[in-house]
């Protein structure tokens, strides 16, 4: 049996006529920059995420970049974030001449640890308050502990940019002013940054991204920055870039958005089935650490985070040999992420290499993502776990 890590063909087969119709509509309109398709998707995504405004952008990376530019982050500034995420989270900080200030993650969720964040912010205050933004990442499709993160950020007066690239539609219990509500990624910080890279839960037929916010002024600044800061046309009070979402992508994404909740549900069903199969195989919690949908860390809140499983990531001690075994048996898998950001060569400064983030480094050394896409069959899920069982138990 062959089980790819991700197969987009069944999704395409089901939606092909409607996607072709959407592409043709944009083609025939001859309006190829922004326009009604982008505006309509912006409204739909904002509503879906529980924010007031959406700004369509060229990628998740450009959403982060536009957010940081709109906050005028630059040389001398620090941006507090996690060392265990996709490179774009840090790359956008560095491109603006600012520097990341890393805080380790929590082992259960792989997300930034608010307790360590509190220590880092207290330290920064003593060193002249250089932290100008905080970027929590909702890794693999599960929200970071946003109640504590936004409370701390408010205490220090620092804006929060949610890197929600992997987490569109992920929900968590959120405490604000003593009340707990159920909130979606991208609705809790100043803004949320989303990616429509094809492997995300909502993926385009190319690159695309979106920023959500409920701050009217901030939405306007980001809108201006995606178009070279031109206001009006050919008059530039700020330097932005070309960060515009393509209307063909917007039209296709609007078709797919209608199916997103069903796809999330299928991924969550697959995750539950994996849990059951790993328990039956006697591997869960022993050879294999399964991903957890953690509780929001709120007294009295007993609801689990609503994880959308952009990735289903296990931790295993013999990661590299298990990976090879799976590949030899035609099971797709991937390491997210083999290196922490502070270990990346592009950070030439020794100052970063000397730092240590034990939880993130442990995750980088032992994480392995298994196939979780919605259209997986039960036979495929059974085969994946049986193949892993053979690795550990033989037979
Ligand atoms: C995918 C991703 C991005 C970047 O999105 P692109 O659309 O590929 O530019 C940023 N952050 C995280 C955590 C991601 O997974």
Question: H helices within 58-145, ranges in order?
Answer: 60-70, 88-95, 114-126
Sign of CA dihedral 184, 310, 98, 153: positive
311 Cβ closer than 6 Å to some ligand 1 atom: no
Residue 192 near ligand 1, beta carbon < 6 Å: no
Q: How far is the CA of 88 from the centre of ligand 1 (A)?
A: 6
CB 92 near ligand 1, within 6 Å: no
Q: What torsion, rounded to 10 degrees, do the Cα atoms 353, 354, 355, 359 define?
A: 80
* Low-confidence stretches of the chain (pLDDT beneath 70): 295-303, 395
Query: How far, in Å, from the CA of 202 to the mean position of ligand 1?
Result: 12
Phi-psi region of 350 (alpha: psi -120 to 50; beta: other; left: phi over 0): alpha
Ligand 1 atom with least separation from CA of 208: 7
With CA atoms as reference, report the closest residue to 38 among 225, 244, 257: 244
If 0-12 CB within 10 Å is exposed, 13-18 middle and 19+ buried, where does residue 247 land?
A: buried
Q: Which of 167, 137, 172 is nearest to 363 (CA)?
A: 137
The contacts of residue 127 (CB under 8 Å, 6+ apart) are none
**Cβ–ligand 1 contact at 86 (below 6 Å):** yes
Cα distances (angstroms) measured from residue 182 to each of 83, 298, 305, 327 = 27, 12, 9, 40
Using the mean position of ligand 1's atoms as its centre, give its distance from the Cα of residue 219 in Å: 20
| Cβ-contact 166, 139 below 8 angstroms | yes
**Is there an atom of ligand 1 within 6 Å of 201 CB?**
no
Report whether residue 11 contacts ligand 1, using a CB cutoff of 6 Å.
no
**Beta bridge mates, 79:** 100, 133
Q: Taking Cα atoms as reference points, which of 51, 273, 24 lies closest to residue 184?
A: 51
Cβ of 209 closer than 6 Å to ligand 1, yes or no, is: yes
Nearest to 345 by CA among 87, 104, 103, 95: 87
195 lines ligand 1 (CB under 6 A): yes
Name which residue sits closest to atom 2 of ligand 1, judged by CA: 165
- 89 CB contacts (<8 Å, ≥6 apart)? 64, 81, 82, 135, 137, 163, 341
For 163, which DSSP code?
A: E
Ligand 1 centroid–CA 283 distance in Å is 32
Q: Is the CB of 110 under 6 A from ligand 1?
A: no
**What is residue 180's three-state secondary structure?**
strand
**CB-CB contact of 100 with 81 (8 Å):** yes
Q: Is 271 helix (H, G, I), strand (E, B) or coil?
A: helix
Cα torsion angle, 85, 73, 164, 112, sign: positive
Nearest atom in ligand 1 to 59's CA: 7
What is the atom index within ligand 1 of the atom nearest the CA of 139? Answer: 13
Q: Counting Cβ atoms within 10 Å, is residue 334 exposed (0-12), middle (13-18) or buried (19+)?
A: middle
53, β-bridge pairs: 213
83 Cα–ligand 1 center, Å: 14
pTM over 0.95: yes
Ligand 1 centroid to Cα of residue 280, in Å, is 35
Query: What's the confidence (pLDDT) of residue 305?
Result: 86
Q: What are phi and psi of 60, to 5 degrees?
A: -65, -40
Q: What is the distance in A from the centroid of ligand 1 to the CA of 377?
A: 27
84, 110 contact by CB (below 8 A): yes
């Amino acid at each position: 049996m062959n089980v790819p890590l991700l197969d987009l063909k069944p999704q395409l087969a089901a939606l092909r006529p409607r996607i072709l119709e959407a592409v043709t509509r944009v083609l025939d309109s001859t309006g190829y920059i922004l326009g009604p398709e982008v505006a309509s998707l912006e409204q739909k995504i904002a509503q879906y995420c529980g924010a007031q405004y959406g700004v369509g952008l060229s990628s998740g990376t450009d959403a982060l970049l536009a957010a940081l530019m709109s906050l005028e982050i630059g040389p001398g500034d620090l941006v507090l974030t996690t060392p265990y995420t996709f490179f774009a989270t840090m790359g956008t900080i560095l491109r603006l001449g600012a520097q990341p200030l890393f805080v380790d993650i929590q082992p259960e969720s792989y997300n930034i640890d608010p307790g360590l964040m509190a220590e880092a912010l207290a330290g920064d205050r003593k060193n002249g308050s250089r932290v100008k933004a905080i970027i929590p990442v909702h890794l693999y499709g599960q929200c970071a502990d946003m109640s504590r993160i936004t409370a701390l950020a408010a205490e220090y007066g620092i804006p929060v940019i949610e890197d929600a690239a992997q987490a569109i539609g992920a929900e968590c219990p959120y405490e604000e002013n003593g009340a707990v509500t159920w909130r979606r990624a991208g609705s809790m910080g100043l803004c949320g940054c989303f990616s429509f890279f094809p492997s995300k839960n909502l993926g385009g037929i190319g690159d695309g991204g979106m920023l959500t916010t409920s701050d009217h002024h901030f939405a306007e600044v980001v809108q201006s920055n995606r178009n070279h800061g031109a206001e009006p046309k050919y008059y530039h009070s700020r330097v932005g870039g070309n960060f515009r979402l393509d209307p063909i992508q917007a039209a296709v994404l609007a078709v797919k958005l209608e199916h997103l909740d069903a796809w999330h549900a299928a991924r969550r069903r697959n995750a539950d089935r994996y849990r059951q199969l790993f328990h039956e195989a006697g591997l869960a919690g022993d050879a294999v650490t399964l991903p957890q949908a953690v509780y929001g860390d709120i007294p009295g809140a007993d609801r689990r985070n609503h994880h959308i499983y952009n990735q289903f990531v296990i931790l295993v001690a013999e990661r590299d040999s298990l990976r090879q075994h799976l590949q030899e048996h035609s099971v797709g898998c991937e390491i997210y992420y083999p290196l922490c950001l502070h270990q990346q060569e592009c950070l030439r400064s020794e100052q970063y290499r000397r730092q240590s983030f034990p939880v993130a480094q442990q995750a980088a050394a032992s994480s392995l993502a298994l196939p979780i896409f919605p259209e997986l069959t039960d036979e495929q899920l059974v085969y994946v776990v049986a193949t892993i069982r053979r690795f550990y138990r033989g037979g």
